[in-house]
Amino acid sequence: MAQLHSIFRSQLEFDTQRYLFDYWQSKCGQEKLPSRQDISPSGFAKVLPMISLIDVDEKDGSRQYRYRLAGTGLRTHYHQEITGKTFQEINTLGVSEQWNEVFDEIVLSKKPSSGLLRAGLEHGGLSHFWLRLPLIDEQGMVNMVLCYDIFAPLSASSLQRSKLATIA
């Protein structure tokens, strides 16, 4: 598991993503993911404004994802309070289905995930860099996901900067 985490970590774009990932990884056991009780907001205080916790709600064989809490930076970005809302209630541009697929994969694989949504109107022309870290319940099932989002120009990513440095 440690080698997979090392490979995953090396692909993260921002120092703050690596900071949160390192915190989450420090809470992992030998073969066990952390639970909500294992993490403390004080452990990642510098990124709290862009943190959210997503509840995994399984009913009748289907899953729904709901923001248990969302940092103030997310409220500012979405121009509304998103705590308590589902993806469908927030994502008015039809991307909720894509998010459901991402979260379904995290729940089933029990592995962290990260990605990039290119600049678009839904984010004010900014790219959306995201990190998703699974948390488990007493039975070892993913019941919550710790999320960190960065909205920034694509040029802010370390990958883009390293490409530019190589060209220059």
Determine the length of the chain: 168
Question: Could you report the per-residue pLDDT of 60-117, keeping only the tens digit for each?
Answer: 878 999 999 999 999 888 888 999 998 888 875 567 788 889 999 999 999 999 998 7
Residue 156 CB partners (closer than 8 Å, separation 6+): 14, 127
Number of neighbours of residue 73 by Cβ within 10 angstroms: 17
Q: Which pLDDT score, from 0 to 100, does residue 7 have? A: 87
**Long-range CB contact pairs, 20-29, < 8 A, 24+:** 20/44, 20/47, 20/51, 20/131, 20/133, 20/146, 20/148, 21/112, 21/131, 21/133, 24/112, 24/133, 24/146, 28/1
How many Å apart are CA 83 and CA 68, to the nearest integer? 6
Q: Which pLDDT score, from 0 to 100, does residue 14 have? A: 93
Give the mean pLDDT of 149-164: 67
pTM of the model: 0.86
Q: Indicate if the pLDDT at residue 29 is higher than 80.
A: yes
Residue percentage of the chain with pLDDT more than 90: 57
Between residues 166 and 24, which one has the greater pLDDT?
24
Q: Which domains does the chain have, with CATH numbers?
A: 2-167 (3.30.450.20)
How many Å apart are CA 63 and CA 100, to the nearest integer? 8
Between residues 19 and 117, which one has the greater pLDDT?
19
